[in-house]
Amino acid sequence: MAILRAQEASSSSSSASGHRYQVFLSFRGKDTRKTFTDHLYTALVQAGIHTFKDERELQRGKNIANELHKAIEESKIALIVFSRNYASSEWCLNELVGILERKKTMGLTVIPVFYDVQPSHIRHQTGSFGEAFSVREKLVFESKEEEDMKIEKWREALGEVADLGGMVLQNEADG
């Protein structure tokens, strides 16, 4: 939270700088939506940090992919919660690629949170991250070349974000 508050204090208000959200929260819903991510979102909101969370901000009847892309563009910081099954979600991986593109082109600040996973598993795609890619690579696609390019982008994005300074948290009852 201190990092986010310091970021906010060092710049003008979000709306004045063209940002609709201070934080874009990226996470694998099945893993953390009703636990860690809900607690994190609540803490951010209580600290006065305007945060995008899909179920709260997505408008019904709108294209989800377009709305997520727009929210990423309108955010100052992307907080990515990596969990064990993150890489099994094509949505999450595509969102990650979009976040890193925005980081390169517009200076989006990216802060990874490694929730019950090690950054090295993400960097090298081992453990549950390696398993997710093994499953995906065994599937038969109409356009193998296009799928291979997509997988390579995902691998590169995971490697890049695993090298960023972040927070490593274990899923513990007292943690």
Which residues participate in catalysis according to the annotation? 95
**Spacing of C-alpha 43 from chain mean position:** 17
Element (H, E) at 82: strand 75-82
**Spacing of C-alpha 29 from chain mean position:** 11
Based on C-alpha coordinates, what's the Rg of the chain? 16
* Of 158, 113, 164, nearest in space to 136 by CA: 158
Those residues with Cβ within 8 angstroms of residue 145's Cβ, 6 or more apart along the chain or in another chain: none
15: left (phi over 0), alpha (psi -120 to 50) or beta: alpha
